[in-house]
Amino acid sequence: MGKVLTMPVPDPTTLSKMDAGLCDFYKRWRSDGDYLRCNSCKRAHLASYAGEKFVHSSACPAKETSEDYPWQVLIELLRPLFECKGHADE
């Protein structure tokens, strides 16, 4: 395994909200390599198509309630990891 990178550490409240958001997100989606896959219809959305609306199967029960742009939602959920101030070793 490579070198461990030192990352900024968000405050505990921010981390808790991020964790809760990720848990909620993964009720609807699964990460499958470079895809996010709908848990209901199993259709996949390739990361390189993150800017395109996800299309569920016509019979998918989640098509009206899940995110249209799941990669963008996932990026937004992870944003606190990249925007916080301070470093773990400071």
For 42-62, give the DSSP string.
--EEEGGGTTS-----TT-TT
Confidence at residue 49, expressed as pLDDT on a 0 to 100 scale: 97
Q: How confident is the model at residue 90 (pLDDT cuts 50, 70, 90)?
A: very low
Q: How confident is the model at residue 88 (pLDDT cuts 50, 70, 90)?
A: very low
Q: What is the pTM of this model?
A: 0.82
For the cut 90, the answer to whether the pLDDT of residue 7 exceeds it is no
Write down the domain spans for the chain.
Answer: 12-82
Q: Which residues pair with 45 in a beta bridge?
A: 36
Confidence at residue 89, expressed as pLDDT on a 0 to 100 scale: 43
Cα R_g (the chain), whole angstroms:
16
Instruction: State pLDDT tens for residues 18-76.
Output: 999 999 999 999 999 999 999 999 999 999 999 999 999 999 999 999 999 999 999 99
